[in-house]
Structure 1
Amino acid sequence: MPDLKLPKLPDRTPVRLTISITPDLQAALNDYAKVYAETYGREEPVTELIPAMLASFVESDRAFSRSRAKP
């Protein structure tokens, strides 16, 4: 087997998750989507922004990263 620089890609199968949120959070997410569109000149549905928001939040949580890295 050749020694490739690119490792085998991880599983990228999307996982559907259903949640309930408060009306206040929904309003804030809709406002965020509006500001996003004004900033980048491209509208994106809230459902497309949420996964990126969650990933950004988890990746920026240093305590979580340290905890996760422990064996």
Structure 2
Amino acid sequence: MQPLCEFCLIAEDVTAADVVDHRTPHKGDLGLFHDPNNLQSLCKHHHDSAKQMMERGKQVVTYDLDGYPIELG
């Protein structure tokens, strides 16, 4: 795991990660739960907002430092 939020890094923003998130929800599957390739570092803001929206099937767009849109997920 890395110490920085992976979603923030996409937008070239350096933010400390607060949450270890499962890329694919494990829903009780112990294989997915323990799979290190299924983990990502996120800040609390992105975990509680963008990631939740993505899991509900919504498209999430953020912006880079120059104001250009970047699609997450």
TM tier, smaller:
under 0.3
Query: Which protein is bigger by CA-based radius of gyration?
Result: 1
Relative to its length, the structure with more helix (as a share) is 1
Identify which of structures 1 and 2 has the higher relative contact order when contacts are C-alpha pairs closer than 8 Å and 6+ apart: 2
Which structure shows the higher strand fraction? 2
Normalised by the size of structure 1, how large is the TM-score? 0.26
